[in-house]
Structure 1
Amino acid sequence: MNRSCITFLKRWMVFMHLLCWTSGAFVQAFGIFGMFKSQYGSIINTFKPHYASNCLIVTGAIVCCVCYLGILGSLRENHCMLISFYIVLFLLMLVELAMACIFLVVDREIDRYFEDDFLRALDTYRQSSDTGNLTLKEEFHYIQATFKCCGVHGPSDWNGHPQISCCIEDPCNMFPIIPWEEGCFGPLRSWFKMNFLSIGAGVVSQAIIQALCICFSCIIMCNFRMTGRGYM
């Protein structure tokens, strides 16, 4: 193996570790995305997907920091530093896959408790005073205005008194209010499922990229170690 080939392989190894760092940044971004998409906490509170999002943010940040260890080990040809990097990154990959599985499982299990939470929130809204449960009320109005829907299953959920956020006109200047006919249960459930599925798939794909980076880097490092050309 001539020197130019050895130099190319070492640079390629550094590039793979930079790719690992990039994948860690993407995992962190998926966690931030999931945290912002796990809104409506006052309405849907049986499961707490933002816990998994927070874990992804922390894990992605640690991956980014640990990848500097791999980059530095590649540049300094430090075998001990690289082995430590691979072990830590492998453990973090397991955490990422576990969090991705949570999002994918939640996507399949939403129907089991989603409707109950929504109906419970509606009852709480109707029983609240004008100044009570303001956060829940704001979220309800936001959902109805955003998804152009009314109530959980339809405007009849409001017992003949639909909220102004149900009005089909914007701004609403009519009375009685003409509400949207569709309930919010279907659109909101589809919205949750789509986001959880995309986050889970994205994290899995980044974990696969990290695994490929580790495999290629280990092959190069082992080759150099056996031939005595570096990474000892």
Structure 2
Amino acid sequence: MAQGCLKCLKYTMCVVNLLCFISGTVVLGFGVYMMRFQMSSLIPSLANFNVANILLISGIIMTCISFLGFLGALKENRCFLLSFFLLLLILMLVELAAACLLLVYEGEINLVVERDLNQSLAELKTQGRNSSMLNDWDLLQNIFDCCGVHNVSDWGDKVPQSCCQKNPCPTQEPIYKTTGCLNNLRSWFEKNFLTTGISVIFICVIEVLGMCFAMTLFCHISRSGLGYKL
């Protein structure tokens, strides 16, 4: 009976890790696709933490750890299972630490974003309309339906087409978006804060279950004297 349960646990781990590996490759591919929409010129201080980079790193980590868990469970390899357990533990601790830092330094992050947006807008005004930074601003203002950092007055007398409520801008009496991008960015993060928190908790639960399964198999293999079988 116990042997049958352990076999079931072994193949469950294989299936789950195979699905995680496939999900990791999808996330990795989506991260490569999102590299087209980077806006690092607008917020250079947080350039390494944009969506594309996060997806790329997450995809690489998911594929590596899930492959290790799949191979360790399939081959009943103690070394792979122990490595899988330790990597999941480190990953969970890093996720919890990142969530705590985000909560503690939320105000400082808001100030950094506001400072970078103001600096990029000032640079754009001095560099002229042909700057590649204008494309990033157009993308930001179209996605978040906003204009400027605080409002349309940030652009002065050179308001881009992306600030118009109707695109293209009418030649007479154009109506501009009145909300600033900084305010819309804050609202977007606040709306998605609960979803992000629930997602982190759900991922941590899955990681704890993965660690429990891996350690159960590891202990069984150690008692059976199978060693580091390949």
- TM class, shorter-length: 0.7 to 0.9
Deviation string, structure 1 residues 132-186 (Cα, Å, up to 9, x no partner): x31x100111222222211110011112432221111133223342211111111
Q: Against the structure 1 CA distance between its residues 40 and 7, is the aligned structure 2 distance closer, same or farther, given a 3 Å change threshold?
A: same
Structure 2 distance, partners of 1:118, 1:147, is: 14
CA contact (8 A) 1:164 1:177 kept: no
For residue 87 of structure 2, what is the aligned residue in structure 1?
92
CA contact (8 A) 2:20 2:63 kept: no
Deviation of 1:85 after TM superposition, in Å, equals 2.0
Question: Secondary structure in 2 aligned to 1:46?
Answer: helix
Q: 1:147 aligns with which of 144, 147, 152?
A: 144
Q: Greater shift after overlay, 144-153 or 169-178?
A: 169-178
Structure 1 distance, partners of 2:156, 2:184, is: 21
Structure 2 runs not aligned, ≥5 long:
none
After TM superposition, list the pairs within 5 Å mapping 1:1-232 onto structure 2: 1=1, 6-23=3-20, 25-26=22-23, 36=34, 39-47=38-46, 48-50=48-50, 51-74=53-76, 81=77, 83-93=78-88, 94-95=90-91, 97-98=93-94, 101-102=97-98, 105-106=101-102, 108=106, 109-131=108-130, 133-134=131-132, 136-191=133-188, 202=199, 205-219=202-216, 222=219, 226=223
CA contact (8 A) 1:13 1:220 kept: yes
Q: Against the structure 1 CA distance between its residues 21 and 99, is the aligned structure 2 distance closer, same or farther, given a 3 Å change threshold?
A: farther
Count of aligned pairs: 218
Deviation of 1:8 after TM superposition, in Å, equals 4.1
Q: Against the structure 1 CA distance between its residues 187 and 153, is the aligned structure 2 distance closer, same or farther, given a 3 Å change threshold?
A: same
- Which of these two proteins has the greater Rg computed from alpha carbons? 1
Structure 2 distance, partners of 1:207, 1:28, is: 20
Structure 1 distance, partners of 2:96, 2:221, is: 35
Q: Against the structure 1 CA distance between its residues 49 and 186, is the aligned structure 2 distance closer, same or farther, given a 3 Å change threshold?
A: same
Question: Secondary structure in 1 aligned to 2:166?
Answer: coil
CA contact (8 A) 1:27 1:203 kept: no
Deviation of 1:213 after TM superposition, in Å, equals 2.6
- Percent identity between the aligned chains? 26
Structure 2 distance, partners of 1:60, 1:6, is: 29
Structure 1 distance, partners of 2:80, 2:127, is: 54
Question: Secondary structure in 1 aligned to 2:148?
Answer: coil
Deviation of 1:112 after TM superposition, in Å, equals 2.8
CA contact (8 A) 2:141 2:163 kept: yes
CA contact (8 A) 1:100 1:201 kept: no
Structure 2 distance, partners of 1:142, 1:193, is: 21
Structure 2 distance, partners of 1:138, 1:199, is: 29
